[in-house]
Amino acid sequence: MLLATACLAAAAAFAYAAPASDKAPPPVATASFGRAGDRNVEIYTLSSAHGIEARIMTYGATLVSLKTPDRAGRMQNVVLGFDTLEPYLAGVPYFGASVGRFANRIANGRFTLDGKTYQLPRNDGPNSLHGGTRGFDKRVWSAEQLESPGGPAVRLTYVSAAGEEGYPGELTAHVTYGLGSDNALTIEFEATTTAATPVNLANHAYFNLSGDPRRTILDHLIAISADRFTPVDATLIPTGELRPVAGTAFDFRRPQAIGSRIADNDEQLRLGHGYDHNWVLNQPGPGVATVAAVLTDPHSGREMEVRTTQPGLQFYTGNFLDGKPAGAGSVFSYRTGLCLETQHFPDSPNQPAFPATILRPGQRFSATTVLTFRVVK
């Protein structure tokens, strides 16, 4: 159980920046990260004594940086992000953000629920992407510090008004980021609603385990525990087929270098401009946590295991990264980051055979993803 320790907030304000020589950093530190319109944006730093450090800001409930050790013990940031708020306000492709109300695409921005048809903003060709024009990634969330027996945590909350971005019902969404003593970052989403609505919540971090975002991610190895994936049409909407990965460039049941087949003459790779697809995770049952993927960077020795209760994994190889926006010293170019978005399948509200994404009053949506870091020789 997580216990609120709000009193830490006042005491901690950036104390970790100049810790007394032999003192460990405080588990949670908070500081101002600027202003979005008339709202203050805060940044929280979670530290585990010998392990990883995560920074989370209230704009978009965004994972801004995540430092983990390489095989020499060197701490480096393994997610794409900026040191200041401005580039995020100018517009970034969901760097580290909490994406909602519906992560991924809804065909033609339209769905029918309980006999009523809803039209959402079309912000990605004909489709609605990642919650619309101003999704949860562009909202200021409230935050409270928590401390669980396992380690420090921050819980962020956003209340999405009924009708916002075209969705029915007032949705209360929470995301809790927590560090364990085992070099793991846990990301837990929860939601409740006042009227039936589609819900799909996901973190959109771009990983580059080398710690050097000038390198591409093509030499990272990835294993994905999925026997099937959802092929797409030209607008990246699933066709509805659950296609076996066997014998295709989508078979990552054994670790493969990401770049080894990405340029294959394959219709699905052409449509995705590389990998930008949902894998159907092998799960013993709905909501049962399983290892979805293992990502390894042979260069730094960093390895990340992704465990999740979610049924799907959108593996996206940064095919639309083009170096913009550029922050101070940061240029994020083509394929210098990859996303592992644990989530429900794209366009689920229009695909009755996919796992259901409709949340109704009285129900509670909950999904947990755990990123565990280790090093390999």
| In the complex, residue closest to ligand GLA by CB | 93
State the binding string over 228-247 for ligand GLA (x if CB under 6 A, else -).
--------x-----------
Q: Is 42 a catalytic residue?
A: no
CB-CB contact of 229 with 247 (8 Å): no
Q: What are phi and psi of 117, to 5 degrees?
A: -100, 135
Binding residue count for ligand GLA, defined by CB under 6 A: 10
Q: What are phi and psi of 136, to 5 degrees?
A: -65, -20
Per the listing, tokens 């159980």 go with 1
Q: Which one of the listed residues 130, 174, 341, 344 is annotated catalytic?
A: 341
Q: Is the Cβ of residue 42 or residue 347 nearer to ligand GLA in the bound state? A: 347
Q: Is 190 a catalytic residue?
A: no
Contacts of residue 8, Cβ cutoff 8 Å, sequence gap at least 6: 26, 27, 28, 145, 147
Is residue 94 a contact point for ligand GLA (CB under 6 A)? Answer: yes
Report the distance separating Cα 196 and Cα 167, nearest Å: 9
Q: Which amino acid is at 224?
A: I
Closest CA to 104 of 262, 295, 238, 256: 238
Q: Which one of the listed residues 204, 220, 277, 344 is annotated catalytic?
A: 204
Structure tokens belonging to residue 159? 């209340």
> Using CB under 6 A, which of the segments 2-10, 154-162, 249-257, 314-322 binds ligand GLA?
314-322
Cβ 246 to ligand GLA shortest distance, Å = 24
- How far is residue 319 CA from its own chain's centroid? 17
Is residue 125 a contact point for ligand GLA (CB under 6 A)? Answer: no
Is residue 60 a contact point for ligand GLA (CB under 6 A)? Answer: no
In sequence order, what are the beta bridge partners of 124? 127
Cβ 125 to ligand GLA shortest distance, Å = 10
Which residue from 60, 93, 152, 349 is in contact with ligand GLA, where contact means CB under 6 A? 93
CA atoms 288, 68, 322, 98: torsion sign: positive
Is residue 184 a contact point for ligand GLA (CB under 6 A)? Answer: no
Is residue 316 a contact point for ligand GLA (CB under 6 A)? Answer: yes
Cβ 249 to ligand GLA shortest distance, Å = 17
> Using CB under 6 A, which of the segments 51-59, 109-117, 261-269, 312-320 binds ligand GLA?
312-320
Q: What are phi and psi of 308, to 5 degrees?
A: -150, 155
Q: Is the Cβ of residue 44 or residue 252 nearer to ligand GLA in the bound state? A: 252
Q: Is the Cβ of residue 174 or residue 277 nearer to ligand GLA in the bound state? A: 277
Contacts of residue 182, Cβ cutoff 8 Å, sequence gap at least 6: 51, 372
Is residue 314 a contact point for ligand GLA (CB under 6 A)? Answer: yes
CB-CB contact of 234 with 309 (8 Å): no
Residues near ligand GLA (CB under 6 A): 93-94, 129, 236, 276, 314, 316, 320, 339, 341
**Catalytic residue annotation:** 204, 341
